[in-house]
């Protein structure tokens, strides 16, 4: 899949999404492995339902994945995706009516910062910048780089 196919209609970059890139699923797998390895079930007695916790992890392992918005993923109710198809746009930032009421239901708080950057450098460079951010571990919905390593070493 090319870089442009990872750009969602709303300006999210799917490569930076924890559902698309597998970060959420992998985190749930690792958490389940840790619970088995360390025997956390006995520590949780009386505090919470451990079986339900494991069921929740299994749900994330099976369901927290997305093929990307351009490949049919994302919310089925997304009006932005429908609008872009009708207007034949790659991304809502290209629309003369941006920002409109449709975008506020799916956008992250930093959408206007992304829009400003998009206008400064153009589509091609913006996509490359988003790709590089994803490569460095940036998670678009959390709006930060995710480091899944022990941090007690400094």
Asked if residue 13 lies in contact with residue 140, where contact means CB atoms within 8 angstroms, the answer is: yes
- In this predicted structure, the answer to whether residue 151 has a pLDDT above a threshold of 70 is no
Average pLDDT, the chain: 88
Q: How confident is the model at residue 153 (pLDDT cuts 50, 70, 90)?
A: very low
**Lowest-confidence segment of 3-7, 9-13, 39-43, 132-136 by average pLDDT:** 3-7
Domain limits, the chain: 1-16+68-154, 23-64
- In this predicted structure, the answer to whether residue 48 has a pLDDT above a threshold of 80 is yes
Buried b (16+ CB within 10 A) or exposed e, 30-66: ebbeebeeeeeeeeeeeeeeeeebbeebeebbeebeb
- In this predicted structure, the answer to whether residue 8 has a pLDDT above a threshold of 70 is yes
pTM of structure: 0.82
């Amino acid at each position: 899949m090319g870089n442009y196919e990872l750009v969602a209609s709303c300006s999210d970059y799917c490569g930076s999404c924890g559902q698309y890139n597998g970060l959420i699923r992998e985190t749930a797998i690792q958490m389940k492995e840790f619970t088995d390895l360390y025997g956390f079930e006995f520590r949780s007695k009386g505090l919470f339902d451990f079986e339900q916790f494991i069921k929740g992890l299994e749900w994330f392992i099976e369901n927290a994945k997305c093929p990307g918005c351009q490949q049919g993923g994302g919310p089925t109710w997304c009006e932005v995706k429908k609008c872009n198809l009708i207007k034949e746009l790659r991304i809502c930032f290209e629309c003369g009516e941006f920002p409109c009421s449709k975008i506020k239901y799916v956008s992250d708080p930093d959408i206007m910062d992304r829009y400003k950057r998009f206008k400064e450098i153009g589509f091609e460079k913006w996509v490359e910048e988003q790709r590089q951010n994803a490569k460095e571990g940036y998670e678009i919905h959390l709006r930060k780089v995710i480091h899944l390593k022990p941090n007690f070493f400094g």
